[in-house]
């Protein structure tokens, strides 16, 4: 699964980090980000990161509950 965040839509409520801290983190800019230290970037898709299979359910849950609807996934 590939995941990325469209930051211009992020509301900064941090629910994604609460639901899936292995993938998402809140930073000093007040926005959610994919934890780049834990996930490989996807060639040809700037800002997209690969997420392992065991985290897919948590990522989809975070996406479904995102107030800003800014989490995007591609299976």
> Which phi and psi angles does 28 have, rounded to 5°?
-60, -20
Domain borders along the chain are: 2-74
CATH class of the region 2-74: alpha beta
Cβ contacts of residue 14 below 8 Å, gap of 6+?
26, 32
- Would you state the pLDDT for residue 14? 97
- pLDDT tens track of the chain, all 75 residues? 999 999 999 999 999 999 999 999 999 999 999 998 777 788 777 788 999 999 999 999 999 999 999 999 998
pTM of the model: 0.90
- Would you state the pLDDT for residue 44? 72
Q: Tell me which DSSP letter residue 19 carries.
A: H
């Amino acid at each position: 699964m590939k995941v990325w965040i469209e930051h211009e839509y992020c509301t900064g409520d941090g629910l994604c980090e609460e639901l899936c801290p292995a993938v998402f983190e809140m930073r000093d800019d007040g926005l959610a980000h994919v934890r780049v230290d834990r996930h490989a970037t996807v060639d040809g898709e700037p800002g997209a990161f690969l997420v392992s299979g065991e985290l897919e359910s948590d990522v989809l849950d975070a996406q479904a509950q995102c107030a800003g609807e800014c989490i995007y996934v591609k299976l």
